[in-house]
Structure 1
Amino acid sequence: MAAHLLYIHNARALQRERVFRDRMNPLDSYSDKRMHKYYRFTRNGVMRVIDILEPLLQNQTERSHAIHPHVQVFVALRFFATWDFYSSTSVQHGISESSVCRIVQRVTNAIVGLEDYYIKWPTTQQKMSENQLGFFAKSNFPGVVGAIDCTHVPLDSSPLGRNEYVYVNRKGVHTLNVQLVCDADFHITNVVARWPGSCHDSRILQNSAIWDLFEQGRLSGILLGDSGYPQRKWLMTPFRNPDTPGRRAYSE
């Protein structure tokens, strides 16, 4: 009887250990489909992010025990992917809410610190030419150096203060309206992330440095944007109501 009870106790302990281990390292337990569902990255994508951030997170510890960098990355990616509340992320990864809060802040700071390394406009003629060739291969559109658009990033309304209403977008959600330019390989080359959700895309562009640089002729090439942007020599947008075969082909 004692042996049987000991067996049950050990089996339950192993089960708890396995569950804890699986929570801590989804690379060991999640299928590729589940990985993408929960973290919005492929397995290889997650591993690349971990490789990049691990040196920046390695020496930071949580109380007397270090939380491994790959766990910190998973916790932050889960929060970024879903804008889920800390409690849900905490339960999924088996760590406290306070730890989740600190980890998200820590990983965010590490990512922001890499901005200048990864987000940069191509400056050499070779890079510019490769980019234009990439866009031409995809769209048969010559001279393109970037595609521009805005995306709304949800915000917690509680710390926004008396001006919280300016962050409410047309869907009634508190957001930042973030302007992005990407190259032919979907690498981000320019970011403007300071405007509240109520601001229109065209207003953000016309008050950005990239607008001034193109208007002054200090940047060359063409940007592609949607119909929410004004048409410029350097900014091609679709016709709102294309009424000829040529205009329809251009807009498509």
Structure 2
Amino acid sequence: MASFVFEALNMETLLRRDQRAYACPLIGDKKKGELERTPGAVRRAPRPRVFRPRTVLDDLPEDSIVRDYRLSTEAILALYELISPDLERTNLRGRAVPGIVKLLCCLNYFSTGCFQGSVARGGGVSQSSLSRYLGQVLKAIRKQMCRFISFPKDHDDLHALKQSFREIADFPNVLGAIGCTHIGICAPGYSQESYLNRKGWHSLSVQMVCDSKGQITSLLAAFPGRYHNAFILRQSGLFEAFESGDISDGWLVGDSGYPCLPWLMTPLADAQNPSQVKYNEVLAKTRSVIKRTFGVIKSRFRCLDKSVGVLKYSPAKSADIIVACCVLHNIALAHGVPPPTEPAGEGELEQVDHDEVETPEGTAVRDNVIINYF
């Protein structure tokens, strides 16, 4: 009996296939969607594709645009003009999704940290499509990284930079504030222990340098969470630039997680006189701008805020998301877009003191700074 049923099903399948093969196509004057059928024909009119409505900037008030995308209309269009060649489809078959829609969907994901499905529904594209668009947008923004994140080298720019830092707390010759922040990621499929930070969650340790206004001037987002600030610094191009003298006549300010170098001023572990105490206080006020910058970036782009969730991508793609958000942060500053009022939920991991070797040259420079300015 079972064999007979199986045989009958096969025959029915063959009959249907045969009927489809000989079904008539559309006949001349019939309305679109109707078929002239011969007896036994089973072909049906194809259903029209349904495209969900997509967001258009012109239809939204400016405050909604800034809230949803963290950039102004002007900033979004300026960015899109740069990256549109990487987002627009050259194949003209079918209904191509406009590049601006791809960008807006990704901006909304960066700003909210929501799951891709909810973001995709808001932008009118599917979750799988958004995942594909995310890769395109990340690649396009990374290509523009050096345009928006670069350490100043022009003499006039460096002079203006020092002056702006000195206005914070009167610390002289500062070229930038350096620090590391942790961005949560899901446990990777390899070397999981390397990504565990000392608080026990998986992260990338991201080194940044910012100016007095919080603009990022140097970024390194490639290291697993277990690695310490000083180690990451020594692997960076920034370290080589200062050591070689390519960047000179000034210094960075950092916390006690860094060694004291001729171009990197750090706190005294044991301040013993009023001048040393004042040095530590002024240094702390000056370098606080990097901690504020971490907070602003995470509140502006909630996908980086661990209180919302962790990045559910590979370390490499997570690093690309971090780079994109930092580029967008600088674009927002350049266009005068104010930061969100809501603070980031996850506090910074404070560096614990490590026995970093302080070079004699570094401590000599620091001693001279204390004697001459404090």
Please, what TM-score do these two structures have when normalized by structure 1? 0.76
Q: What code does the residue aligned with 1:165 have?
A: E
User: Are 1:214 and 2:242 counterparts?
Assistant: yes
Conserved in 1, the CA contact under 8 Å of 2:169 and 2:282? no
| CA deviation after TM superposition for structure 1 residue 131, in Å | 2.1
Q: Which moved more, 1:144-153 or 1:237-246?
A: 237-246
The structure with the larger Rg is 2
Render the CA deviation track for 1:39-90: whole Å, top value 9, x for unaligned: 3334544344334323432345697222222211111112223443221211
* Closer, same or farther: CA 239–65 of 1 in aligned 2, 3 Å: farther
User: Are 1:234 and 2:293 counterparts?
Assistant: no
Q: Secondary structure at the match of 2:247?
A: coil
Conserved in 1, the CA contact under 8 Å of 2:116 and 2:130? yes
User: Are 1:98 and 2:131 counterparts?
Assistant: no
| CA deviation after TM superposition for structure 1 residue 95, in Å | 0.8
Tell me the equivalent position of 2:11: none
Cα RMSD (Å) of the superposition?
Answer: 3.0
Tell me the equivalent position of 1:73: 103
C-alpha separation in 1, matches of 2:168 and 2:204: 30
| CA deviation after TM superposition for structure 1 residue 242, in Å | 6.0
Conserved in 1, the CA contact under 8 Å of 2:253 and 2:283? no
Please, what TM-score do these two structures have when normalized by structure 2? 0.54
Structure 1's unaligned 5+ residue stretches are 1-16
| CA deviation after TM superposition for structure 1 residue 168, in Å | 2.3
Q: Which has the higher contact order (CA 8 A, sep 6+)?
A: 2
Tell me the equivalent position of 1:199: 227
- Pick one of 266, 271, 284 that aligns with 1:251: 284
| CA deviation after TM superposition for structure 1 residue 194, in Å | 1.4
- Pick one of 60, 64, 71 that aligns with 1:29: 60
Q: Secondary structure at the match of 1:190?
A: strand
Q: Could you tell me the percent identity over the aligned residues?
A: 32
| CA deviation after TM superposition for structure 1 residue 36, in Å | 4.0
User: Are 1:131 and 2:167 counterparts?
Assistant: no
Count residues with an aligned counterpart. Answer: 231
Tell me the equivalent position of 2:204: 176
Render the CA deviation track for 1:175-234: whole Å, top value 9, x for unaligned: 221111223444333222210012122221123232233234332111122333222221
Q: Which moved more, 1:41-50 or 1:140-149?
A: 41-50
Tell me the equivalent position of 1:52: 82
Tell me the equivalent position of 2:146: 116
| CA deviation after TM superposition for structure 1 residue 170, in Å | 3.3
* Closer, same or farther: CA 131–105 of 1 in aligned 2, 3 Å: same
Tell me the equivalent position of 2:118: 88
C-alpha separation in 1, matches of 2:114 and 2:225: 20
Conserved in 2, the CA contact under 8 Å of 1:174 and 1:197? yes
Q: Greater helix percent: which structure?
A: 1
* Closer, same or farther: CA 51–154 of 1 in aligned 2, 3 Å: farther
Q: Secondary structure at the match of 1:20?
A: coil
Structure 2's unaligned 5+ residue stretches are 1-50, 286-374
Q: Secondary structure at the match of 2:191?
A: helix
Q: Greater strand percent: which structure?
A: 1
Alignment of 1:146-161 (within 5 A): 146-157=176-187, 160-161=188-189
C-alpha separation in 2, matches of 1:62 and 1:194: 37
| CA deviation after TM superposition for structure 1 residue 150, in Å | 1.8
C-alpha separation in 2, matches of 1:131 and 1:195: 28
| CA deviation after TM superposition for structure 1 residue 172, in Å | 3.6
C-alpha separation in 1, matches of 2:270 and 2:92: 58
C-alpha separation in 1, matches of 2:282 and 2:206: 29
Q: Which moved more, 1:100-109 or 1:61-70?
A: 61-70
- Pick one of 253, 269, 280 that aligns with 1:224: 253
Render the CA deviation track for 1:142-190: whole Å, top value 9, x for unaligned: 2111221223233343xx2231231122344322211112234443332
Q: What code does the residue aligned with 2:60 have?
A: S
Q: What code does the residue aligned with 1:88 have?
A: S
C-alpha separation in 2, matches of 1:39 and 1:172: 32
* Closer, same or farther: CA 69–128 of 1 in aligned 2, 3 Å: same
* Closer, same or farther: CA 189–248 of 1 in aligned 2, 3 Å: closer
C-alpha separation in 2, matches of 1:198 and 1:180: 17
| CA deviation after TM superposition for structure 1 residue 101, in Å | 0.7
C-alpha separation in 2, matches of 1:61 and 1:78: 26
Tell me the equivalent position of 2:23: none
C-alpha separation in 2, matches of 1:63 and 1:102: 18
